[in-house]
Amino acid sequence: MSERLQPGDVAPAFTLPDADGEQVSLADHQGRKVIVYFYPAALTPGCTKQACDFTDNLELLAGAGYDVIGISPDSPEKLAKFREKESLRITLLADPDKKVTEAYGAYGEKKNYGKTYLGVIRSTVVVDEEGKVERALYNVRATGHVAKIIKDLGI
């Protein structure tokens, strides 16, 4: 089980491939706030809803100084299909070995239909301009989550 991040922690640095196979680093966003969210799988109903909500609110978030990065264990090829199928405009990154997901505390025990298993915990971490954790939210719901973040951030 990975340790959950707390406000004030330094956000773990990462470099991962995006849907086009290009390397994207957290450091690329230095000087801007970044909403890093972790989701279990592209092209599934809950994850699609969440990604579409972020895309629908991207201009509002960007206007308030926030970049949005979605991270899942999917391959860049699957992320490209996800982006095309749903017309997503957010940055999607592939973390197939789940090292970044674990570093952010977004991997661990989950329960589904009475079974316990290890998996990606739907989580959102807001990183400030200096690379520190501003908020860390775990076990979030896909539906309504983006609206809640916007409200909580006062955007």
Q: Is 144 left (phi over 0), alpha (psi -120 to 50) or beta?
A: left
For residues 18 and 29, the answer to whether their CB atoms sit within 8 Å is no
Q: Catalytic pick from 47, 61, 92, 126?
A: 47
Task: Determine whether 47 is an active site residue.
Answer: yes
Among the listed residues 84, 82, 80, 75, the one whose alpha carbon sits nearest the alpha carbon of residue 45: 82
Question: Which residues are identified as catalytic?
Answer: 47
